[in-house]
Structure 1
């Protein structure tokens, strides 16, 4: 299990290839990449992501351990960035490896749902009109009910 919280950008292709290269005996790898998207109707200048390092690392480890206990996984990779990110920049990556694709897909979806709602990151949108903290969304919370 490799869990990193970092300010620096990362090479998505290199990370995916390195992850796949360590998965001897696995039949499936699923990856998900989160990207900063522009806002509807307002130009996003940046998304500022804040966190408390020890708290965030522990929360991501707990979420990953829960996924590993629910599905038959060979490995998990989570990389999440913080700091000021511009539209179209990569925020995060999740990768799961399993002998069978269903486990890899379900674990990746579980990780994404819990990272979106339970990981202690605070996001502020900076636009031409000012700044706003991103509020929790009901649909993100609702997604947790399937787990």
Structure 2
């Protein structure tokens, strides 16, 4: 994996005390990374073999993180349920801005593990598929 980490390397680094935080992150509607910070034990016990969950609120806020009406996914009336952080292990890297941390980008999935159609990474993947269907790449 060019310029990235493997799970095995990350595990070894945590065992040596070189990594103590793994950041799960996904871009929100404004392109900001939203997510959670995990301890290595939880990451290896739960995320590597499965997934983590996050609040749908993260995809239904404005630039100041205030809830915005009009989203089909979630609202004050419908409630703010959870979504699934589905890790993309090809994106695992050291987080250079924080000592002893690694970052892992995630896709956002609905409770049934279908891709969340409104999630920015899902939208980008669909656009890339549309380009490919016309013989184009980006």
TM-score, scaled relative to structure 1: 0.26
Select the structure with the greater relative contact order (CA < 8 A; seq sep ≥ 6).
Answer: 1
Structure number with the higher strand fraction is 1
TM-score (norm 2): 0.27
Which structure shows the higher helix fraction? Answer: 1
